[in-house]
Structure 1
Amino acid sequence: MANRVFITGDTHGPSEIGRLNKTFAVGRELDKDDYLVICGDFGLVWADRSKYAYWLRWLDKKPFTTLFVDGNHENFDMLESMPVEQWHGGAVHRVNDSVIHLMRGQVFDIAGRSFFCMGGARSVDKARRTPHISWWPQEIPSPEERDAACAALDARGWQVDYVLTHCAARNVQRLLNPTYENDELTCFLEDVERRLDYRRWFFGHYHEDRPVGERQTAIFEDVVEIVPGDAGDLVRHVYRAEETGPAPAR
């Protein structure tokens, strides 16, 4: 069987990662060449404490490999202390044998498809958080990271199959809720969205599960699979959360 790729939203570390027991029971059928991608706020690279180590071991023992783009709630000091290695065409931090951080501005070739990844987002609650303890200024990609993203897309002729981010582009965020504030990252992603030839774009952050426009999907608790087909890829729901209405982005 061909390698499989699944996508879900924010797991928020120990507080919510266990929901995968319910939403991703299909994982028992997989192997390490199959991938579950988390669209930011992974939350298990946060502190050197036993509860975080427990859940990282829990994921490492799963039959699949866990990939994540960073959100705004990650310990970026810890992430940046990890060695950088090349994996499937892009730069990563390997958290353990089967938990891998897909670094910002990289394009990866996974299961026969190309994925452009750009983590980061603005924390609306940062005034209530402590710098380098519960909030990190690196949550917004630097100009150098944005330049690296453009260089990676230049190398691909501004054409990829899929885009994985934490926050949405400005034009898409406006469709979600016109009162949401924009910043340099949402503006950058809007520029990318207008230039890029892509099939589908998945993002987390807003705690919603719903399509936005024709090619964008906000994802939180849902789990979807990209299913290759002769007539083109399909996006199949493996798990669909109950429609309880959106919670605010964090």
Structure 2
Amino acid sequence: MIYITGDTHIPNDIKKLDEHNFEEQMKMNKNDYLIICGDFGGIWNNSKEELQWRKWLSERKFTTLFIDGNHENFDLLNKYEIKKWNSGKVHFINESVIHLMRGQVYILDGLKFFTMGGAESIDKYNRVEGKSWWKEEMPSKSEYDEALDNLDKNNWNVDYVITHTASIELMQQMCWIKENNPLNSFFNMLQTDLNYKHWYFGHFHDDIDLDNKHTLLYEKIIRIK
């Protein structure tokens, strides 16, 4: 089984994954996955509380997969060793909590997932670089290049796209005009050129089916397979 949800902002929104809110997990095991669409928040300052939440997640019956959003500590996240897992690069936070890196194509239960984390913090000018904001929140040229190379290897054909933010076109549908950056433009291109069944994203703190191929997630937990 594969489920997907929006931002968890540990510790703020992680409780949606407890047994009372996510009853389906009682039928899951470590070969089943819960995907978080960025702003995981569990790699922030290695505080006692944060470590307890990571331990709590590792004790769930399922395996947690997350892409990065804009509210992550990239200094800490990038200290983890890069490993290969299910055809893509990952950071193993622990055996049950795995960071899906940017520009990768993973094969999960026979399905192809393209992941591209990152987003722009519109409040970054009120944050402190290296403490509450990191310039690595936006993809680098090498990450874009790797994404394009991996899509070429897969003939621009995947089952699912998992991102944190969205394309300019989708943001216009949501009447969101606060972002317009190279990542949003990159996603515009993907909407046109990439063949996919469905695209899931977070970041905007709402639950909306924009059309039959694009879903914004926040509190909802949806089963994909």
TM > 0.5: yes
In structure 2, the partner of 1:234 is: none
- Which deviates further from its counterpart, 25-34 or 198-207? 25-34
1:210-249 matches, cutoff 5 A: 210-227=208-225
In structure 1, the partner of 2:77 is: 79
The TM-score with structure 2 as length reference comes to 0.97
- Hey, what's the Cα distance between the residues in 1 that align with 2:189 and 2:59? 40
- Hey, what's the Cα distance between the residues in 2 that align with 1:226 and 1:214? 14
**The residue matched to 1:15 in structure 2 has which SS?**
coil
Q: Is the 8 A contact 2:122 2:179 kept in 1?
A: no
- Label 1:26 to 1:12 Cα distance change in 2 as closer, same or farther (>3 A): same
Instruction: Give yes or no for the alignment of 1:198 onto 2:196.
Output: yes
Instruction: Give yes or no for the alignment of 1:106 onto 2:81.
Output: no
In structure 1, the partner of 2:120 is: 122
**The residue matched to 1:198 in structure 2 has which SS?**
coil
Unaligned runs of 5+ in 2: none
Q: What RMSD, in angstroms, separates the aligned Cα atoms of the two structures?
A: 0.9
More relative contact order, 1 or 2 (CA 8 Å, 6+ apart): 2
- Hey, what's the Cα distance between the residues in 2 that align with 1:26 and 1:214? 24
In structure 1, the partner of 2:4 is: 7
CA-to-aligned-CA distance 1:11-67 (integer Å, 9 cap, x gap): 001122122114322112110000000000000001121011000000001110000
The TM-score with structure 1 as length reference comes to 0.88
In structure 2, the partner of 1:209 is: 207
- Alignment identity in percent? 44
Tell me which amino acid in the other structure corresponds to 1:162. Answer: Y
Q: Is the 8 A contact 1:71 1:120 kept in 2?
A: yes
Q: How many residues align?
A: 224
- Label 1:148 to 1:219 Cα distance change in 2 as closer, same or farther (>3 A): same
**The residue matched to 2:190 in structure 1 has which SS?**
helix
Moved over 3 A (4+): none
Q: Is the 8 A contact 1:174 1:180 kept in 2?
A: no
CA-to-aligned-CA distance 1:210-230 (integer Å, 9 cap, x gap): 111230000000000013xxx
